[in-house]
Structure 1
Amino acid sequence: MTVQPPPYFDLSQENHFDETMAGPAAALWQQRQEGMFQGVNNINIGWVSFTGNNPDRAIIVVNGRVESYWKYQELFYDLVRQGYDVFSLDHRGQGISDRLAEDTELGHVGHFDDYVSDLDTFIESVVKPKGYQQLFMLGHSMGGTITSLYLARHPDTIDRAVLSAPMHGINISKWMRPIASPLARVMEQLQRQPSYAPGQVPYYPKPFNNNPLTQSKVRYQWFRDLYEHKPELKIGGPSARWVWQGLAAAKSCLSEAGNITTPLLLLQASEDTIIDNAAQQQFHQAMQQANRDCQFKVITGARHELLFEADTFRTPALASTLEHFRKAEIPNA
């Protein structure tokens, strides 16, 4: 007899958040498997998995800049309860993976494509050997950039994917857009070692009021507390090199969109002030022009962190994600 997973609406809710995180989510977290693999240039990349829930289907969560899989414990709990095995990794230069600069709070990367290569190594060496019939991918923000490029270059691996507020462009003032990348390149050349881009600083916990990430105070406070209790996870602003590498990668997403054959769902946060929402629309149009399957859904009123937003926004974002994945599922025997 097959046990059916809970319905979509049976997701973690803010009014029981503390009890969930201290109870069943914490119990699941204690059952995690963790490991390391060597990415590009032998950088140690950390990963986590929750297996034994479904031998046929797994979701790979690709997180954003400054994040760690430690931050996604509530999401992992929700996905496992919906009947999936779950995998995630910490990108080079952040989380528990090796840092790339002397300043451990600097968000730095040598080449953005290294993120994509690391993800490929993770899938090939850690995920695929499990023998799943179907693989799904959920990429958020910078993780959406990495996911987009991975799908364009590895078209036959992932069955369906969801992009949550993907970084297909960065929200930069109109007058700065033409000069942002060349300015970052010049700044990098002037720096003796990797350092912050103009206006960027090391990590500091921004107050909840007027934060650009989420309207959920309880979720916001939880991940800020996590970074205080586990300070090695802290990452501040990006380096000058990361800025121009990130801008170039976002452009590559637009130019390579037509190579993606995986059915996509793109979730846009209407009140996002971090990502350029117009670039997401250009990505969607590029896929449509190539006759690719890309659904576009706007979460009205939501800020950037759709997966950490208030229930009003997070629940429909996750419900749409799960519905998208279920469309491809193989019925249980």
Structure 2
Amino acid sequence: MTIQPPHIFNFTQESHYLEIMAGSVTELWQQREEGEFSGVDQVTIRWTAITQQQADKMILLVNGRVESYWKYQELIHDLAQQGYDVYAIDHRGQGVSGRLADDSELGHVEEFDDYVTDLETFFRTVITPKGYRQHFMLAHSMGGTIGSLFLARNPGAIDSAVLSAPMHGINIKNWMRPIASPLARVVEQLQRQPDYAPGQVPYYPKPFVDNPLCQSEVRYHWFRDLYEKMPELKIGGPSARWVWQGIAAAKQSIALATQITSPVLLLQASDDTIIDNQAHYRFCQAMQDADKPCELKVIHGARHELLFESDKYRQPVLAAAINHFRKAEIENG
């Protein structure tokens, strides 16, 4: 198999975005399979899959905080066009999976490790029985933390992984870093029930202008419109407990990086203000020090949501991801 150069990949273009979303993307989405299973503490975890006849390779898509697989219809379409079956879950407490607090818009979790256990259950009970020859992972943001911990706990399960702006650290102001986790713990103790961390609020649609997520206006408005059409997808700020759990999990993902055996491509957005980009270097260095393959690729000028960015950023991101997977396909025969 010859690896295609990035410029000939046929990914969705912004110039025909709404037409494509209403056409081939919707047509494929209507063919999706959906299911559910009981995660940790019997929380309902919903999942979806787009499968094709005779595909022997699959991509496990692991989305970020406040996201849903409904948001990833365009990406799933683009990946399917490259010959992959695609599977995704909605994490506990968000998307169409079971909520964990009385306030349905609160981003809450009891134990961050529950995200990982849910993903393991999905992989073991839904994906593994399908008998795919090769398994790949594409994980974004908080999903990158979950994916990193999954890879460390399940060496050999994934042939190759791409981490998009993974949350190996949270972007916290320097003066706050030493006290952020202890403060969140104290605030949680003072709350009678799970509630927002200081400064956090329920969902509201931030205007496109100066938003920290992406520079593609058409993609940004599409997913904001989706959340208005499906208000059950709306998630606001994190709970105090999620904050200190998230900080701890990000640190753990670096500490356990030495246990990852899958080749990792880490895609970093240079203009990311959501996560701590410096943590990416510590993660990759830990893998490399253990003689494990980790490549870090910086997408200059891009913001956090690399998979929803303007074409000039998103196209090379997807091309790099597909080429990374295809390299593993060739090496593994």
Contact 1:266 1:294 in 2 (8 A): yes
What's the counterpart of residue 12 of structure 1? Answer: 12
Shift of 1:55: 2.9
Contact 1:54 1:84 in 2 (8 A): no
Q: What is the aligned-residue identity percentage?
A: 68
What's the counterpart of residue 29 of structure 2? Answer: 29
Question: Which residues of 2 match residues 77-226 of structure 1 at below 5 A?
Answer: 77-226=77-226
* SS at 2:186 equivalent: helix
What's the counterpart of residue 73 of structure 2? Answer: 73
1:297 counterpart = 2:297: yes
Where does the alignment leave 5 or more consecutive residues of structure 1 unmatched?
none
After the TM superposition, which of the residue ranges 321-330 and 92-101 deviates more from structure 2?
Answer: 321-330
Q: Distance in 2 between matches of 1:54 and 1:172?
A: 46
What's the counterpart of residue 39 of structure 1? Answer: 39
| 1:123-169: CA deviation from partner (whole Å, max 9, x where unpaired) | 00111111000000000000000000000010010000000000000
Question: Which residues of 2 match residues 210-249 of structure 1 at below 5 A?
Answer: 210-249=210-249
Relative to the length of structure 1, the TM-score reads 0.97
What's the counterpart of residue 307 of structure 1? Answer: 307
Letter in 2 for 1:97: S
What's the counterpart of residue 288 of structure 1? Answer: 288
Change (3 A) 1:315 1:205: same
What's the counterpart of residue 267 of structure 2? Answer: 267
Letter in 1 for 2:250: A
Letter in 2 for 1:171: N
Shift of 1:78: 0.1
Aligned length: 329
| 1:88-111: CA deviation from partner (whole Å, max 9, x where unpaired) | 000000000000000000000000
* SS at 1:328 equivalent: helix
| 1:286-309: CA deviation from partner (whole Å, max 9, x where unpaired) | 111111100110000000000000
Shift of 1:330: 5.5
| 1:255-293: CA deviation from partner (whole Å, max 9, x where unpaired) | 101010000000000000000000111111111111110
What's the counterpart of residue 252 of structure 1? Answer: 252
Q: Distance in 2 between matches of 1:54 and 1:298?
A: 35
Contact 2:55 2:83 in 1 (8 A): no
Change (3 A) 1:8 1:250: farther
Shift of 1:328: 1.5
Shift of 1:310: 0.2
Change (3 A) 1:7 1:307: same
Q: Distance in 1 between matches of 2:70 and 2:33?
A: 12
Shift of 1:54: 4.3
Contact 1:53 1:85 in 2 (8 A): no
Letter in 2 for 1:236: G
* SS at 2:329 equivalent: coil
| C-alpha RMSD of matched pairs (Å) | 1.5
Where does the alignment leave 5 or more consecutive residues of structure 2 unmatched?
none
Shift of 1:8: 5.0
Relative to the length of structure 2, the TM-score reads 0.97
